[in-house]
């Protein structure tokens, strides 16, 4: 199993797909890496030589911000917004959608499980 940027990437998948397991590398970056290193996109990770894996590792370390550094940067950006108490920061703080989505009916992913409102008890005479 190849280990790149602290992540064990799957060996039985294509290089283009396996590189996406690294946080911060998506489809475009994976294609760019394969193109820069002239690795065919249909090649599997278990078919790569040790030299090719080393070149991929060095290229990612040199040119891309991935995994821990990127996660830390994103967390610091969110914390900065929350400290400023701007609208986006308040939405993060309250656990509500940040980018203008409706919350009247949807947004269950951010808001959590729906809580039933306790109704008034009927008084019988």
121 within domain boundaries: no
Query: Which structural domain, as residue segments, surrounds residue 12?
Result: 2-63
pTM (2 decimals)? 0.75
Residue with tokens 């280990």: 3
* In the block, residue with structure tokens 């980018």: 99
Whether 119 is covered by a domain: the verdict is: no
- pLDDT of the residue at 41: 83
Q: Is the pLDDT of residue 120 over 80?
A: no
Torsion of Cα atoms, 45 then 49 then 51 then 54, to 10°: 20
In a domain, 122, yes or no: no
On whether both 56 and 107 belong to a single domain, the answer is no
| Higher-scoring residue by pLDDT: 19, 119 | 19
- A 10 A CB-CB count for 80 gives 11
Do 15 and 42 lie in one domain? The reply is yes
CATH classification of the domain holding 33 = 1.10.8.50
Residues 32 and 53 in one domain: yes
User: What residue ranges in 20-90 does DSSP mark as E strands?
Assistant: none
Cα 36 to chain center, whole Å? Answer: 24
Number of domains in the chain: 2
């Amino acid at each position: 199993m190849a280990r790149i940027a602290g992540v064990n990437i799957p060996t039985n998948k294509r290089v283009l797909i396996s590189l996406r397991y690294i946080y911060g590398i998506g489809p475009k970056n994976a294609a760019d890496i394969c193109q820069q290193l002239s690795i065919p996109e249909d090649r599997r990770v278990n078919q790569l030589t040790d030299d090719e894996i080393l070149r991929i590792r060095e290229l990612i370390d040199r040119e891309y911000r991935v995994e821990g550094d990127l996660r830390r940067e994103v967390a610091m950006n969110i914390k900065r917004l929350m400290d400023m108490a701007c609208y986006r920061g308040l939405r993060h703080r309250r656990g509500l959608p940040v980018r203008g989505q409706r919350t009247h009916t949807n947004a269950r992913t951010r808001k959590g499980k729906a809580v039933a409102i306790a109704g008034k008890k009927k008084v019988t005479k």
